[in-house]
Homo-oligomer: A and B are copies of this chain.
Amino acid sequence: MGMRRGTNLPRMGDFNRSVILEAIRRSVEGLSRIELVEATGLSAQTVTNITRRLLDEALIMEAGRTINGPGKPRVTLRLVAESRFSVGVHLDPAVITFVVLDMSGAVVRRRIVRVAEQEPRRVIETMARTIDGLLDEADVDRRRVAGVGVAAPGPLDAERGTVIDPPKLQGWHRVALREVLAEATGFPVIVEKDTTSAAVGEVWTAAGAVDDSFLFLYLGTGIGASLVRDGEAVRGSSQNFGEVGHIVVDPDGPPCACGSRGCVEVVCTPQAIVERADAAGVFDGDPDARGARVVEERFTLLSERAGEGDPAAGAVLRGAAAHLAMLVSVLTNILDVDRVVLGGPFWSRVADVYLAEIPGRLEARSATRAVREIPVAGTVVGDDVGAVGAACVVLDSALTPRASDLYLDR
């Protein structure tokens, strides 16, 4: 039987160091030592000791003095953004997106690489070469790179860092992505679900409270959900939280390979929506065109036509929004969150229509509508949320304080 572990002074010291570094990072203008005492509840002595060490390590710097009435002037402490970097890679069936972030979470380099259907090992080699090129361009000292985060479609075998048969990545059968990429780059690699990465990116980028709790609904080639509770992404026991593809959102919908009908997978994905639009006569081109690239182009075309007032295109998108609202209501009724964020690579194209349709439908189906409303908003991160999020996963695991880190090791 496992027992809960106690804590001790060195654990407490590490935790408080992370708390102070996080408070400084999250403040746009920097903080004085007195403000840190107020923000963290720590004693002035503890704050002085910890900030001295952070200054020695050049993770923070003194940036100006404020005179505020009599007494000593206050010294503002600010993050040294370029003291650490991290790399984010978003592995998608159509494209691979790369970003380099500094410790403030700012994107210092970005690149998109289209990969035709290639053997996984060759794709990983391309990744390693691209990462190397981006770090050269940005003139980043390799010793300051905290690691590489890869956002990949689930489900994942988190223990082995492998991608397991993601339905939309052909040939990626149990590829040891973490190990092979770590060897090719020389950096530690974290493989995370694209949906979870996106949620971590949202937490790092949004200037929300540290105890923010929200559902992130990820609109990519597939649809996935992730959850942030008290500022922390909830990963689940096997790190596969949020597989929502076979939730029924339309009892009158088309049959699904799973044996049911009207699942998210056959109703809400870009491919399903494009097929419905095709049947509604929205497109004039080749009705048999296939593949991830074609779906993406047609999805863009559909949203453009809807924006131009094409009634058939508008009706298809509003219908898709209504079905997604069903999914969102199922998830919020289960998970009981404060708010909902929608994002992912396909999000910006449907944001207007979806934000007009979803909130009212969600409200009507909310189990807790008598006690509160659940606001719905688009991501603050943009279309690169997968790659940015993957880089944030690396920064997050290195920098964010976790109460659970206080437990003594076994």
Contact residues of A with B, CB < 8 Å?
1-9, 12, 15-16, 19-20, 22-23, 26, 39-43, 46, 154-155, 157, 164-165, 207-211, 213, 225, 229-231, 234-249, 251-253, 258, 260-262, 326, 329-331, 333-338, 365, 367-368, 370-372, 401, 403-404, 406-410
Q: How many copies does the complex hold?
A: 2
Tell me whether A336 and B240 are in contact (CB under 8 A).
Answer: yes
Tell me whether B371 and A164 are in contact (CB under 8 A).
Answer: yes
> With contacts A165-B370, A365-B258, A403-B404 known, is A19 near B41, CB below 8 A?
no
Q: Of B208, B334, B368, B403, which is within 8 A of A1 by CB?
A: B208
Q: How far is the CB of A408 from chain B (nearest CB, A)?
A: 3
For A261, the closest partner residue in chain B by CB is: B251
Tell me whether B248 and A248 are in contact (CB under 8 A).
Answer: yes
**21 interchain pairs (CB within 8 A)?**
A1-B209, A3-B39, A4-B40, A5-B19, A5-B40, A6-B16, A6-B19, A8-B41, A155-B371, A237-B336, A240-B336, A240-B368, A241-B336, A245-B333, A246-B367, A247-B334, A248-B248, A248-B251, A334-B334, A403-B403, A403-B407
Q: How far is the CB of A226 from chain B (nearest CB, A)?
A: 10
Hey, which chain B residues are within 8 Å of A229, CB to CB?
Answer: 234
Q: Of B42, B213, B367, which is within 8 A of A408 by CB?
A: B42
A4, B42: Cα distance in complex, Å: 11
Q: How far is the CB of A247 from chain B (nearest CB, A)?
A: 5
Hey, which chain B residues are within 8 Å of A245, CB to CB?
Answer: 333, 367
A-B contact sample (4 more), CB < 8 A, given A155-B371, A331-B334 = A7-B406, A236-B336, A246-B330, A248-B251
Q: How far is the CB of A162 from chain B (nearest CB, A)?
A: 9
Tell me whether B247 and A330 are in contact (CB under 8 A).
Answer: yes
For A3, the closest partner residue in chain B by CB is: B39
Q: How far is the CB of A220 from chain B (nearest CB, A)?
A: 16
Q: How far is the CB of A402 from chain B (nearest CB, A)?
A: 8
Tell me whether B164 and A367 are in contact (CB under 8 A).
Answer: no
Hey, which chain B residues are within 8 Å of A252, CB to CB?
Answer: 251
